[in-house]
Amino acid sequence: MIDSWTKQSPSGKTVTFKIEGDRKSGFVNSFKIEGDRKSGFVYSAKMDGRDIKEITGFREELTREGVEVMFANYVAGK
């Protein structure tokens, strides 16, 4: 499963969120393989095409809202 969506940030920039994984194995191979991704979900965010952060090996399946909150907290330094 790959789920991708975009939102506007408060500053007007486009943020793209992405979830990769599935319920059975918790992981899906993708064309962007970096580091060790043997298990777990992969969450990533980009702002105006630039990477904000990628989190790999996450065991929980988050909702879209959960992913947005996780990255908002990361950007805010929480």
| Cα–Cα distance for residue pair 61/43, rounded to 1 Å | 10
The pTM of the full predicted model, rounded to 2 decimals, is 0.70
Element (H, E) at 75: helix 64-76
Helices (H), 1-78: 64-76
Domain boundary assignment for the chain: 2-76
**What six digits make up the tokens of 12?**
């007007």
What's the pLDDT tens digit per position in 29-77?
A: 333 433 444 567 889 999 888 888 888 878 888 899 999 999 888 888 8
Are 54 and 70 in contact by the 8 Å Cβ rule? The answer is: no
Task: Tell me if residue 8 falls in helix, strand or coil.
Answer: strand
